[in-house]
Structure 1
Amino acid sequence: MKLDLSRPSWAERLPPRRSVAGDAPVAACAFNRDGTVVAFALGDGHVRLLPADFAAEPPEAAAPVHGGVVLSLIADPSGDGFVSGGDDGRLLRHAKDGSTSEIASYKGKWIEHLAAHRSGVIAAAVGRTAIVVKGDAVRELGPHQSTVAGIDFSKDGGRIACAHYGGVTVWSIGEATLPPRLFAWRGSHVALKWSSDGRFIATGTQENDIHVWRIAQATDMRMQGYPAKVRSLAWASDSRFLCTSAQPVFTAWPFAGKGPEGKPPLQFGSEGAGLMTVVTAVGTSDFVAGGYDSGEVQLGDLKSRLSVVLKMADGSAVTALAWSPDGGQLAIGNERGDLVVLDLDR
């Protein structure tokens, strides 16, 4: 990745932008493992696959694959395509060529959250239950106290964390006989991210704050003062910072050394026209991106604390962001159904 936000060119012009008009709001977007294809999950049942370098006339949309709203989408960790979940209860695998196969089906359930580990394991939230898919084997974990509202793997892929009312439950995947471990905190937890170094689990809560547990010590901390629910969390590549939505600028809590207790968060960037709805970090650098309820998108550098506005506000809230594997492209989706790719290295 060769981005340098101090370059004069960033201040003089926006990066090249390519877009397609979709017909429904975007719930999620993702690049496949080699970065050659980008996919968008839409509210009309479509999973739209586009070449990452698509031209002005991209391929036509295929037929809808879900019977209702597509709620979740991730890159397939064991293939060249994607995995999606919908409010029709179907968990689908999409190959790079657009062909689709069903992994599992849960009639009457919603598959609203997905997670994957580089080992090839997939996890999905299905109502109050989580399912783990490894090869042809499907294992159910739960039921939990309420609908699973967030799901993520540990660094080594051996455990999975599920957010729900009353806290987070951690399950062992490899040792089926081990009892689950509950990290309790009152109230509803609406988002979850396990840190990239495996030491912390963070959640956003119904009470407009975030809660973080140290796994080894089973101690916890609470960070308050948000004007809205924190529904999007992103750890920096080395877990030094936890970035959060629901603020008008980039907000990153420091987790190096003794952690954030007694310290203010790092805040920088141009104050957006509204609040951040989505935040995402590059897995191999210090860059983060934030999307706003006003339609604005910003790119930030946690190291230099520089930022630039990549897409000016257009009134349609940003609902999804995804970096390409090399960090050179950023995919954006919004409530209006715009499918956008920014070429940041050009």
Structure 2
Amino acid sequence: MLGLDLSLFKRDVLNERWNISLEEHIIDMAWSPDMSHLVAATAEGRIILIDNYGDSAAYKQIGEHALGANSVSWRPDGLQFASSGQDGKVQVWDGVTGKLLQLIDADNDWVAKATYHPQRPILAIAAGRSFKCWTETEGIIYESADHASTIADIGWSPDGSAVAVAAYNGVTLHYPVQQSEPRKYQWKGSSLLLTWSPDAKYIATGEQDSTVHFWDVNSGTDAQMSGFSTKVLELSWHSSGQWLATGGGNTICIWDCRGNGPTGREPQYLRYHFDKVTQIAYQPSGHYLASADIDEFLLLWEPEKHDKIISATSLSAPATCIRWTTKGDILAVGQQDGVIETFLIKNAHV
């Protein structure tokens, strides 16, 4: 572990609540809307339901995906959640008991992601080159033609009217509720992940060629940001939609997306990480940004005020998932060694 001196930073900000060890690489996590549960998926395929008691937690394995799990997502009412895996299956679970309710065969050997609509019980599924939408009462209600490659990522628009799909040759917007024709944003490259701005003005993608792409959703115009040292697998929007934080190396860039957008603007640089950043996440509401790196440090920032660290702590292994609760007061950090730690954020202003 390289030399970040933790004694220089406030230690009463990141207050540990509880930690558990699942002894397997944490691939994804998701909080229930009421924060009473946290569901975790491991790279080996286990699905773990965690009861959150505040200062303590209890957990149980409720199932698994053969070959490995990929994603977990809660239905917006918090009564159910879904998991996807490399076995070509999506599993729908009871959010309290952990009972398996539905098994969806995606007719593929790889389901990269399954994610619920932000307001309705509609599940979007990325299976190989195909994108589908499913409901409990109607089954598959929408299915796309094959994309140019295996789908890397999908994401609902903030209002739930569209789903963006990232694959080779750009981003495709699907409208499964309206059943209207998809819209294509062409780009000759390989997108690895995507994220909508909270105001739905932009879609940002992290690229295989170590760039970040910005798409103006209405006009279809695009901009590209380059100069990253690695492929970009870390993107997070400020809740206002005015700033985007990106990784892609050991420096975090904060892009100003106000007005006419980031084109031609120099980003703000956050430089305290000594090695590659593995995770970044803005609060869902609020101004704090959490980041983690290969050197097993977790840092807390407030970029709107300055480029200094508010607080820092060490982890037991590099972070693989950072998930805020909806209120933004609790942070869960999943790690390569299977440890999940939660922190209460308080007294953060400096």
TM-score where L is the length of structure 1: 0.90
| Structure 2 residue aligned with 1:288 | 289
Which stretch has the larger CA shift, 166-175 or 77-86? 77-86
**1:232-273 deviations in whole A, cap 9, x for unaligned?**
2111111001111223243211101121111111223x5113
Deviation at 1:52, TM superposition (A): 2.3
**1:197-226 deviations in whole A, cap 9, x for unaligned?**
111111111110101111111110000011
Deviation at 1:60, TM superposition (A): 5.0
Q: Residue type of the partner of 2:117?
A: H
1:54–1:12 Cα change, 3 Å: closer
| Structure 2 residue aligned with 1:39 | 39
Partners of 2:108 and 2:128 within 8 A in 1:
no
**1:53-100 deviations in whole A, cap 9, x for unaligned?**
3655x4353353322311111222243342211111121122222222
Matches within 5 A, 1:214-233: 214-233=216-235
Partners of 1:204 and 1:231 within 8 A in 2:
yes
Distance in 1 between residues matched to 2:278 and 2:137, nearest whole Å = 36
Matches within 5 A, 1:256-275: 256-268=258-270, 271-275=272-276
Which stretch has the larger CA shift, 221-230 or 42-51? 42-51
Query: In proportion to residue count, which structure has more strand?
Result: 2
1:170–1:60 Cα change, 3 Å: closer
| Structure 2 residue aligned with 1:79 | 78
| Structure 1 residue aligned with 2:214 | 212
| Structure 1 residue aligned with 2:4 | none
| Structure 2 residue aligned with 1:104 | 104
Partners of 2:149 and 2:168 within 8 A in 1:
yes
For structure 1, list consecutive stretches of 5 or more residues without a partner in the other structure: 1-7
- Are positions 1:152 and 2:150 aligned together? no
Pairwise CA RMSD of aligned residues? 2.2
Matches within 5 A, 1:115-130: 115-120=115-120, 121-130=122-131
Partners of 2:51 and 2:59 within 8 A in 1:
no
Partners of 1:26 and 1:40 within 8 A in 2:
yes
Partners of 1:212 and 1:222 within 8 A in 2:
yes
Deviation at 1:135, TM superposition (A): 4.1
Aligned with 1:33: secondary structure? coil
| Structure 2 residue aligned with 1:202 | 204
| Structure 1 residue aligned with 2:69 | 70
Q: Residue type of the partner of 2:20?
A: V
| Structure 1 residue aligned with 2:319 | 318
Partners of 1:211 and 1:222 within 8 A in 2:
yes
Partners of 2:75 and 2:117 within 8 A in 1:
no
**1:278-312 deviations in whole A, cap 9, x for unaligned?**
22222222222112122211122232235334431
Aligned with 1:286: secondary structure? coil
Q: Residue type of the partner of 2:201?
A: R
Distance in 1 between residues matched to 2:103 and 2:284, nearest whole Å = 27
Deviation at 1:102, TM superposition (A): 2.3
| Structure 2 residue aligned with 1:3 | none
Partners of 2:108 and 2:127 within 8 A in 1:
no
Distance in 2 between residues matched to 1:251 and 1:37, nearest whole Å = 32
| Structure 1 residue aligned with 2:236 | 234
Deviation at 1:24, TM superposition (A): 1.1
Q: Residue type of the partner of 2:83?
A: S
Distance in 2 between residues matched to 1:26 and 1:155, nearest whole Å = 26
Partners of 1:294 and 1:318 within 8 A in 2:
no
Aligned with 2:10: secondary structure? helix
| Structure 2 residue aligned with 1:297 | 298
| Structure 1 residue aligned with 2:30 | 30
Aligned with 2:232: secondary structure? coil
1:60–1:117 Cα change, 3 Å: closer
Partners of 1:90 and 1:102 within 8 A in 2:
no
Q: Residue type of the partner of 2:226?
A: Q
Which stretch has the larger CA shift, 22-31 or 58-67? 58-67
Partners of 1:273 and 1:296 within 8 A in 2:
no
Partners of 1:253 and 1:266 within 8 A in 2:
yes
Aligned with 2:63: secondary structure? coil
Matches within 5 A, 1:173-212: 173-176=176-179, 178-212=180-214
Distance in 2 between residues matched to 1:182 and 1:311, nearest whole Å = 43
For structure 2, list consecutive stretches of 5 or more residues without a partner in the other structure: 1-6
